[in-house]
Amino acid sequence: MLRFKLIPCGMGITVVAIVGAMVLFTVGNAISDDKFKIEQFISPEICSDCHSKIAEQWENSMHNLAHKDPIYNKLSQFLRKGLIDENEIKEADSCVKCHTPVGYVTGFPRKVSDDLSKTAPIATLGIQCDYCHSVVDVKKMYNNGLVLEPGEGEDDPGIKRGPFSDSEPDFHEAQYSKLHTQSNICGTCHDVKHVVFDTPIETTFTEWKNSPYNDSNPENRVTCQGCHMYQRPGVPATGSTNRPENPGSATDYSDERPHIFTHYFVGANANVPPMFNDNTKALMAKARLKNAATISVDKNEPGQKKLKIRVTNSGAGHSIPTGVADLRQVWLEIVIRNKDQKPIFTSGLLNKDRILPENSIVFRIVFGDGNGKPVINIAKAKQVLTDNRIKAKQSVIQTIELPLPLKEGDVISVRLLYRSVSQKILNLIPNETFEPLSVIEMAKIQTKL
């Protein structure tokens, strides 16, 4: 198992000589864009020699797939094409800083328009073990302000930072890091701003920071890790479910601890992991979505021409949807049938091309060009035009005007549905047909008058 010890010493000497120079640049130097050498980062495969369970969980997670994700790839190339405005190009090229972070800090790729087929193999593995566990600081809370101090590769792995203060590993050094126990380590990548226009593009961390989960008493605070690194199959670990500890060992041979943080990093993406033959993550995403929200319909009487639907964010530590909330679709599907089973009102039913009708009730963000015109390309986003998403632990009430008054015997069915990317946006990508993205039921209610 200890194959890193087999590396010849000759190499080690050269490496050590370079170490000295690198340390001068990095110690106490708050620059996260430091040019490191690719050899400094140790492959997740090596970590998996000892941390096999953690590595298995992380494999095919959205972090592992951040660079390979076909939806991200096709979309980022599409958005970059044909731009002429220098500021828009800067934004459209910026994606690799988070989606290929090991490549970015080692000098390639620096831009989406670089020849990505030349990306070093280790950098294609996305947000990985040695990247997160080399973090020592955060210099700004958006657009990936992580500051790293990696080791010098397998020969001299350096310090891996984590939640334990009494860890004594045999391969690498270990150090307690408070940052790793806080939402900030996640938040600096999960808040995204336009690099020139400053438009807030993703605000998951800010949404969490302003939510009741960010309790001023640390005992009651639920961090990103408190939900997302407690989830495992059978344990959705959302705000509306129990989040039991996960006793176990950090390696195949170390002592048991009361809680080992899981590394599946599941959000809501049920499409991309199966493209890499991982169905476990898709099931976990569905479990998460099913324990995120509730819906209820206000008491209805025959003769009434209005329907009031309440949607509550009961389980997410941020808005629903969060992240790339301009692409995600969370919507209400409403069907009212009379006592002969005939539909007398519908809303939010996908048509045969899987497109949502214009007047559906969709919770999302719409960006604008600065003059009030909606834009799809985030590179052109100068303003947030609308944002009707459901904040953590809050409810929204939607009032629907009906064409006919409700009658005795009518059956009202309402579902809250989720789809990762709108079909209309996917259809814009030329010569590309993705398998239809799954539509996931988050909540459902049926009442009879």
> Mapping DSSP to helix (H, G, I), strand (E, B) and coil, where does residue 412 land?
strand
The alpha-carbon radius of gyration of the chain (Å, integer) is 24
Residues contacting ligand HEC: total by CB under 6 A: 102
Judged by CB under 6 A, the stretch of 8-16, 20-28, 159-167, 298-306 that binds ligand HEC is 159-167
Residues 91-120 that bind ligand HEC (CB under 6 A): 91-92, 94-95, 97-99, 101
- Output the CA–CA distances (angstroms, integers) from residue 422 to 193, 328, 353, 368, in the order listed: 22, 6, 11, 18
Beta-strand runs (E) in 318-407:
329-337, 343-347, 361-363, 365-368, 374-375, 383-387, 395-401
Contact residue for ligand HEC among 232, 286, 288, 290 (CB under 6 A): 288
Q: What number of helices (H) and strands (E) belong to the chain?
A: 14, 17
Taking the complex as a whole, the smallest distance from the CB of residue 304 to ligand HEC amounts, in Å, to: 32
Decide whether 44 or 348 has the Cβ nearer to ligand HEC: 44
Tell me how far apart the alpha carbons of residues 197 and 383 are, in angstroms, rounded to a whole number.
Answer: 9
CB of 371 to ligand HEC, least distance (A): 21
If one asks whether residue 192 binds ligand HEC (CB under 6 A), the answer comes out as yes
List the x/- string, 36-75, binding to ligand HEC by CB under 6 A: ------x-x-xx-xxx--xx--x---xx--x--x-xx--x
Give the DSSP H/E element, type plus range, for residue 16.
helix 9-26
Q: Which is nearer to ligand HEC, 94 or 300 (CB)?
A: 94
The number of beta carbons lying within 10 Å of the beta carbon of residue 303 is 9
Nearer to ligand HEC, 322 or 360 (CB): 322
225 binds ligand HEC (CB under 6 A): yes
Contact mark string toward ligand HEC, 333..352, x via CB under 6 A? --------------------
Going from the C-alpha of 43 to that of each of 26, 123, 166, 325, 433, the distances in angstroms are 21, 9, 25, 32, 33
Instruction: Select 12 or 226, whichever has its Cβ closest to ligand HEC.
Output: 226
Q: Could you tell me the two tokens for 61?
A: 């997670």
Pairing of strands 395-401, 306-313: antiparallel
Tell me which DSSP letter residue 107 carries.
T
Q: Which stretch binds ligand HEC (CB under 6 A): 17-25, 312-320, 358-366, 409-417?
A: 312-320
- Within residues 129-158, the interface with ligand HEC by CB under 6 A covers 129-130, 132-133, 143-144, 157
Binding segment (CB under 6 A) for ligand HEC, from list 21-29, 181-189, 304-312, 428-436:
181-189
394 φ/ψ angles, rounded to the nearest 5 degrees = -120, 165
Q: Of 117-125, 251-259, 354-362, 365-373, which part binds ligand HEC (CB under 6 A)? A: 251-259
Q: Do residues 125 and 67 touch, judged by C-beta distance below 8 A? A: yes
> Is there binding between residue 284 and ligand HEC (CB under 6 A)?
no
- By CB under 6 A, is residue 362 in contact with ligand HEC? no
Q: Of 42 and 350, which has the nearer Cβ to ligand HEC?
A: 42
| Nearest distance from C-beta of residue 9 to ligand HEC, angstroms | 19
Does 261 bind ligand HEC (CB under 6 A)? Our answer is yes
Please compute, for residue 21, the number of CA atoms within 13 A of its CA located in the half-sphere on the CB side: 8
345 backbone dihedrals φ, ψ, rounded to 5°: -155, 135
Q: How far is the CB of 102 from ligand HEC (least distance, A)?
A: 9
